[in-house]
Every structure is written in structure tokens, then in C-alpha cells.
Structure 1
């Protein structure tokens, strides 16, 4: 084999290797920024892409892969998760708390992500930490626990506004853990226990109040019913007495007057009341008019001894 053939084969092999090194297969959710002679030329999308040897080359970017910073020409356009570890933050009421969280973001403009910032991942992480310190520093400890969702949304807006210049979109921010000092946590636990006891006491008192109201209403209704019954009984007694008077007067005996009959009825009621009066003491003093009443009763008894009603 002569020298010319060897050179030809060498050149052909070099050309094939060179062409293969400038053929890129860009996968879905990826892109590549291509520079021509050091200047931005175009962005390669998914598919088979070819660049011009020695003139064009991809611009690398620093990405986070397996918790390590890796320089790669392939820009991942998928949503990425950045976990920033726990850090000490001082609240408005001078309490030091340890907070850690996660940040979800996506590269929207690969050109800006490559040319506007040196290390996009590190820049986002530092921005998240400084924004978190600034946001927590304006709030008291109690409001932090009560307003976690609001803090997440405010951090997202701040980071998204700053990330627009880097070509990224901050999707959401989540505070995973808020750890106060041990003494503060113990005081908060005691406060929560006292609050639960207070609520239980209030609930018990409210139940007793409702029960007392129900008992009072029941007693009131019972008293009303009792009074109503006594009223109806008195009416019936009065009607009976009236009927008795009418029957006696209608008997035709001229010796009976209305005053005599009324005296008889009053005397009878008087005699029925005497046993109750006697219960209150050993001695009973009766007025002089009592003999008149008892006399009316005796007279009526003699007159009516032979009559039937």
C-alpha cells in the first residue's frame, strides 16, 4: 500500500471523526446554545443537529446533577428542584429560628441563563436565602407559623421577579421545616397545652349553661302548667258552687235566702280549711264571727236533711 492511499484513508477517517463530533442528538426537554467564533449564533432544539467544525461550538452551562455542579452543553428545560439546607434566621422579635426549604424553578430563556449569570444554580440558591432572611426578619415568630402559605407566595414573587433577568421561572417555594430554639419550643408547647385546657373549660361551661337554661325552661313550663291547672280547678269549683246555689234556691223552700246559702258555702270552705290551720300550732284562736258562719252551716244542714239534689 503506497503512501498516498494511507494519507487518503487517514484524512477520510479524520473527517468522519470530525463530523461525528459535530453531530448532536438533542433530547426532548433539552436545548443547546451554539456560538460561532465566540458569538451567540442559535439555539438547538430537540432532534439531530449538526454544527460547523472549528467554527461553531456549544456554550456550556453549569447545572446541578446528583447534588453536584456539572458543566454541560445541554440545558435541561424541565422543572428543577433546589433544596437549600437549614439556615439561622432572626425574626422581628429577635428569635433565632432554623428554616430549610425547597425551590422549584424552570429555565425559560436558555440564552439569558447562559450569558446573564455565571452559575445559574448558585445564583438562585443565594437569592432564595437572602430573600428568606429579609422576609422572615419582618415577621414575628407566631405569625411565621400562622402565615406559612403567605410567606411561600411572597418568596415566590420576589424570586420570580429577580429570576426574570436570568431567564428562569420560579414555580413555587416551600418552607419544609421551621425549628425555633429549644426553650422557645418548650414555651410554645406549654402555651398550646394551656390553650387546649382553656377551650375545654369554655366548652364545659357552655354545656353547663345550656343545661341550666334547659332546666330553667322546664321548671318554668312546669310552673305554668301547674298554675294553669290550679286556675282551671278553681274555675270548676266556682262553677260547682254556683250550680249548688242555683239548685238550692230553685228547690222552692221559702226559708232559704241567697245570703243563707252563700253563708253555708263559705262556712263549709271554712271548716275544710281548719285542719290546715291547726297544723301550724297547738292553739287556734277563732274570731267571733265564726259562730255566725257555723250557725249558717247548721241551719242549712237541718233544712236540707230531708232533700235530695
Structure 2
């Protein structure tokens, strides 16, 4: 029987004494039966002829490119989208015996999940909610890949390609939005300018009114003072006249 396919290739030969490198796990079969625990890093002993190394799994983080594929959004826009998967083998036994080809299985699962998640979102939300979309894909992959002994650490969408006509429509929408903002800013500037002019005219009228009022007050005060001086002079003249008559 052929050994299961795995994320790493190349099997060491049993020479009785083997050193397992760091961040690797080696699965050994004894007379066709898998041993309970895979060999971990360091010195390990095997029985020649009876023991056979059936798989070597890397425990490091693994990067897998997810090929470009088509997906249809909620508003029926067909996109071309690709991504990158970051995986780690958590259970070497499950990764080797639980699935025929772990890399292929996880890649297919990522593509299926991506299509499913994109079908729930409109085109605008796909671009706005890219981070949450990545997180949703990671959660869905981990729910399905647990029995394979593989954990998806993160998923990143690389490129999103929209059809040319949709792209032109998006550019026109962006340009229209830009013109709208420019018009709003211009109208706000005109409004602010008109308010400033009106405020200036109001202040000018207030100042003119206050100046006129002050002028009238000053004029009235001047007239009152003049009348008072005139009355005093008249009173003094009468007093002088009365004194002169009294002396005669």
C-alpha cells in the first residue's frame, strides 16, 4: 500500500538510529501498524526491517497560494479572486491518515468557503469588509479541517479583479461622488462667504447706529450745557441789577 500524501516529501531510511530535526514529526509503522506517538525531535531508535518511516510532517507555519477563481457576489457581480493560506499541522497523525492530500484538501476548502462567503456580500461590502471576510473564511476552514489535524492561522485575500464594465461603472461612481463633494464644498464656501458679508454689514450698521447715538447724546449734552451756562449768566445779571437798585 502507498503511504498517504503529506505536506512534506522525502522519507528517511531506517538505519536503527535517527535524529529527528526540530519542528518535525515522523510517523513510524511497525509491521504495517502505526505506532501510537510520532517520533519527536532528537534521538530516536527504530527496529531495522520491522519499522518503517511512513510520513514526515513539518510543524512550522506553511504558506499556500490559493489559485485565482471566480465567485459571484450577492448583487450578481462575477469576481476573480485569489488568496494566501497560512497553516500549521497540529496533529501529524490526522494530517497523514485523515486525508489523502492535506494541501489540496485545504486549498479546495478555502476556495469553496471563499465562494460561499462572497455570495453573502454585495460588491461594495466585499471591498469594505475585507478583514471580516478573511476572518470568516478562517473560521469556516478551521471548523472543517479539525479532523485533518490542520489549523488555519490566517487567510489573506491578495487580489480582487472585477469585470471591465463594472470597473468603469465604479470609476464613474467615484468621479460622481468626487464632483458631488466638490459641489457641496463650493456651496458651503459660498454660504460661509455670504454669512460673513451679512455679519460684516450687520456689525457696520450697529457701529454706525452706535456712533449716531453717541453723536446725538453728545449734541444734547452740549446744548444742555449751553442752556445751563446761559441761565447762570442771566441769573448773575439779575442779581447784579438787583444789588445796584438796592444801593440807590
What TM bracket, shorter-length normalisation? 0.7 to 0.9
Provide the C-alpha distance between the structure 2 equivalents of 1:184 and 1:216, rounded to a whole number of angstroms: 47
User: Secondary structure of 1:81's match?
Assistant: strand
- In structure 2, which of residues 152, 164, 168 is the aligned counterpart of residue 182 of structure 1? 164
Q: 2:115 aligned with 1:133, yes or no?
A: yes
Q: Give the match's secondary structure for 1:250.
A: helix
TM-score by length of 2: 0.85
Structure having the higher Rg: 1
Hey, what does 1:36 align to over in structure 2? 30
Asked if 1:57 corresponds to 2:52, the answer is yes
Q: CA deviation at 1:184?
A: 0.5
Shift in Å, 1:26: 1.4
Is it true that 1:246 corresponds to 2:240 in the alignment? no
- Aligned twin of 1:26: 20
Q: 1:154, 1:245 → 2: CA distance?
A: 95
CA contact (8 A) 2:14 2:53 kept: no
Aligned-partner Cα distance in 2 for 1:103–1:235: 87
1:170 aligns with 2:152: yes
Unaligned runs of 5+ in 2: 1-12, 237-248
Q: Does 1:45 align with 2:40?
A: yes
Contact 2:27/2:38 (8 A) holds in 1: yes
Counterparts of 2:133 and 2:197, CA distance in 1: 51
How far has the Cα of 1:48 moved from its partner?
A: 2.7
Aligned-partner Cα distance in 2 for 1:102–1:94: 25
2:138 to 132, 156, 160: 156
SS, match of residue 233 in structure 2: coil
Residues of 1 paired with 2:167 and 2:103: CA distance?
34
CA deviations over 1:47-96 (Å, ceiling 9, x no partner)? 23221112211223xxxxxxxxxxxxx21111011101111111111111
1:193 paired residue number: 175
Q: Counterpart in 2 of 1:272?
A: none
Q: Select 1:208's aligned residue among 168, 175, 190.
A: 190
Cα distance in 2 for partners of 1:35, 1:106 equals 23
Equivalent residue pairs, number: 223
Cα distance in 2 for residues equivalent to 1:207 and 1:108 = 62
Aligned mate of 2:97, from 115, 121, 129: 115
Post-superposition CA distance 1:118-145 (Å, at most 9, x none):
1111110110010011101111111111
Shift of 1:247: 2.1
TM-score, normalising length from structure 1? 0.69
Q: Secondary structure at the match of 1:94?
A: coil
**Greater relative contact order: 1 or 2 (C-alpha under 8 angstroms, separation 6 or more)?**
2
Structure 1 CA distance for aligned equivalents of residues 82 and 231 of structure 2: 106
SS in structure 1 of the partner of residue 68 of structure 2: strand
Q: Aligned partners of 1:94, 1:168: CA distance in 2, in Å? A: 33
Structure 1, unmatched stretches of 5+, are: 1-18, 61-73, 255-309
Q: CA deviation at 1:20?
A: 6.4
The secondary structure found in structure 2 opposite 1:212 is helix
Q: RMSD across aligned C-alpha pairs, in angstroms?
A: 1.7
